[in-house]
Structure 1
């Protein structure tokens, strides 16, 4: 299929992805593929994916087809509106799958099977197809979790996978991570797994079922707690703003906010104490190794904090920046004003249908020397590309109108 977006070629140009996902995890996964040039055909219900209703909305948006949530993770995609419960809608879907490389869905286990378009059915029509499922607790094909029928969102995966249990200011106050890592990390792992399966399919001509559980992905992210328990018998809890194995390593107060300082290695520790004007601390055997400093973590953190608290973030940056591992704790305003962000093109501006203004979204962090990576087009309107995609699949204009009249497409 010709990429009707007419974009700059990316590393995945020519890869066709049928995207049945919604909310955050699945769309972020397919967004990553689209950012690298894959043709991502987003299959939506006739009235659009539910997150189109999520804000924030532009103040002058006359259409309200989608808000910032949807715009951020559905860029570089084509939208085809299909009713998968309609027999003719399923026929259209099956026809699209015949020419696809990848199908991605994040429904609850069994939904696609009940629609008659599950993995086995699709694999029978396209032997090379990579079928990826991203669910809260995985798919029974790979291992039947006792929670397989439980619905799951980011916060559920964060809680059950262990990350909330080790995050917080003290042992009695667990905290949810700010960004939706319970969605985003599984999305990234799914994108990696999909490309691994595509590589296998290219070599062997054989597709396969790719299964990612949000719970599993959080557990993999929290790998440290497993070996801490196995090697040392520990049950780690919230760790505050430090690190259980490294010191100094974490957040420290400034007069106008917070900064991060990480000096677990002796050369950095010696340099930090010199900059602090207390070189004797660098020579003190009580703090002479990371292990020794970790054993006296309270003392070390207090010494560094007492020094940092008397200085502004800018003052600390002028002293530590480029010399020891350091970074200010930035707000979004700080980030948008940071020359690094501009130099790395980490913010992209996109048009928004219904609004006279352009808006900013986060760009892809991936940079490649030969191929383009990142935002090229805004998120689509519901069914914006239905006619074009079906035409390229071989449907005549009269066929498309018949399907639309039957309410199989929009």
Structure 2
């Protein structure tokens, strides 16, 4: 067993998380907590489960070739137990309330106010657990004119400004708004939710006070505009789509080579000077037009044309080797298979393998932060729907087999 797969107590081993979320943003947050040691129980609808269990192909297959959950589900649901409860039924809602009474954290991503009719909103659960940390993840937040709207990543990428700066300019072939190739608004929000939860945990440890966290995809996306929003808020510059160009740094883009493409990213004048020297044109670095980054931005097109001509004479790997030798940041554009075959990715142990109880094996991506004292651990493969219902209701609520059997018969679990 790889050291990264050996179960450890984890920094969050003292926390219980009741996860009522599904799809990506909420599950991403709870997986982060689980990787760091928290006990996470994922509540799913009986017979149906998280929507992403069916978001394929590709699908997992067991040792006998039977089709199972979609690969998508496996990306954000390891280190969790799956419990099936129909909380639209009063008995099911009561089970969830009792579980919340013994939880440290509740995470949900229903529409604003959607859980109140089941008595599972913050105010109701706070009444049974005053120290509860309750995190709500929604598209637009708990307040404001859009609070009632459903929010999906693609929609938020557009409304949150990201698609206005992603893609080629209108006048270029293929120009127009473009979404990012991964659901980054969901992922940003999941990460912000995890950070906010940990802040709330620290506050509770100091004061004994729980709290409600309102975490919105829209807010998270706007926050992630970073320098682009600063360009507008501070400088009055409306960011535009620049394709692979950088709005504030030149040269910093993709360039064609004789057999592919290479990224060159010069973050300062020294790197630019070394780039020019390595390409046999040292005088370009001292041309008044290109002497500073500000000048290179003004004369971006002229410089890009010159660099394109110089780099297109060489093969991609030769360019990467040459520029690495002189410490100019550069690299290829890898496919996903290229990424996992890369010697650095292998050295960092970015691919992990987990196995379900039935022997089904599936690969995943390691938790990216390395903690020297309390490293992330991978204790459970993404669960089969409802596999932990019996055990969890026993350990969390003290229900015996007969009680759980009655609940199954009534369609509650």
TM-score by length of 1: 0.93
Deviations 1:98-144 (A, max 9, x none): 111100000111111111111001111111111001100011xxxx2
Report the more deviating stretch, 396-405 or 68-77. Answer: 396-405
Q: How does 1:174-185 map to 2 (within 5 A)?
A: 174-185=177-188
Q: How does 1:137-156 map to 2 (within 5 A)?
A: 137-139=140-142, 144-156=143-155
* Residue 62 to residue 264, structure 1, CA distance change in 2 (3 Å): closer
2-structure distance, mates of 1:175, 1:374:
36
2-structure distance, mates of 1:364, 1:255:
37
Q: Following TM superposition, by how much is the alpha carbon of 1:374 offset from its aligned partner in structure 2, in angstroms? A: 4.6
1:163–1:218 contact (8 Å) kept in structure 2 = yes
2-structure distance, mates of 1:20, 1:185:
19
1:364–1:375 contact (8 Å) kept in structure 2 = no
2-structure distance, mates of 1:235, 1:398:
65
1-structure distance, mates of 2:218, 2:329:
32
* Residue 352 to residue 304, structure 1, CA distance change in 2 (3 Å): farther
Q: 1:190 aligns with which of 189, 193, 200?
A: 193
Q: How does 1:240-279 map to 2 (within 5 A)?
A: 240-279=243-282
Secondary structure, aligned partner of 1:11: coil
The aligned residue for residue 25 of structure 2 is: 25
The aligned residue for residue 236 of structure 1 is: 239
Does residue 400 (structure 1) correspond to residue 399 (structure 2)? The answer is: no
Structure 1 residue ranges without an equivalent (≥5)? none
Deviations 1:247-300 (A, max 9, x none): 111211122322211113111111111111111112222211111111111112
Q: 1:119 aligns with which of 117, 122, 140?
A: 122
The aligned residue for residue 71 of structure 2 is: 68
Does residue 309 (structure 1) correspond to residue 312 (structure 2)? The answer is: yes
2-structure distance, mates of 1:115, 1:228:
45
Secondary structure, aligned partner of 2:13: coil
Does residue 343 (structure 1) correspond to residue 365 (structure 2)? The answer is: no
Q: Following TM superposition, by how much is the alpha carbon of 1:353 offset from its aligned partner in structure 2, in angstroms? A: 7.0
Q: Following TM superposition, by how much is the alpha carbon of 1:397 offset from its aligned partner in structure 2, in angstroms? A: 2.2
2-structure distance, mates of 1:282, 1:133:
52
Q: Following TM superposition, by how much is the alpha carbon of 1:372 offset from its aligned partner in structure 2, in angstroms? A: 2.4
Q: Following TM superposition, by how much is the alpha carbon of 1:357 offset from its aligned partner in structure 2, in angstroms? A: 5.9
Q: How does 1:13-52 map to 2 (within 5 A)?
A: 13-47=13-47, 48-52=49-53
1-structure distance, mates of 2:315, 2:352:
31
Does residue 54 (structure 1) correspond to residue 58 (structure 2)? The answer is: no
Secondary structure, aligned partner of 2:411: coil
1:9–1:372 contact (8 Å) kept in structure 2 = no
Report the more deviating stretch, 153-162 or 57-66. Answer: 57-66
Q: Following TM superposition, by how much is the alpha carbon of 1:166 offset from its aligned partner in structure 2, in angstroms? A: 0.5
TM-score by length of 2: 0.92
The aligned residue for residue 283 of structure 2 is: 280
1-structure distance, mates of 2:80, 2:61:
24
1:261–1:326 contact (8 Å) kept in structure 2 = yes
Deviations 1:298-319 (A, max 9, x none): 1121222222222222111111
The aligned residue for residue 107 of structure 1 is: 110
The aligned residue for residue 88 of structure 2 is: 85
Q: Following TM superposition, by how much is the alpha carbon of 1:58 offset from its aligned partner in structure 2, in angstroms? A: 3.6
1:366–1:374 contact (8 Å) kept in structure 2 = no
1:15–1:101 contact (8 Å) kept in structure 2 = yes
2-structure distance, mates of 1:264, 1:74:
38
The aligned residue for residue 157 of structure 1 is: 156
Cα RMSD, aligned residues only? 1.8
Q: Following TM superposition, by how much is the alpha carbon of 1:377 offset from its aligned partner in structure 2, in angstroms? A: 2.3
2-structure distance, mates of 1:193, 1:153:
21
Deviations 1:52-109 (A, max 9, x none): 1122114667554412011111111001110101121112111111111100000111
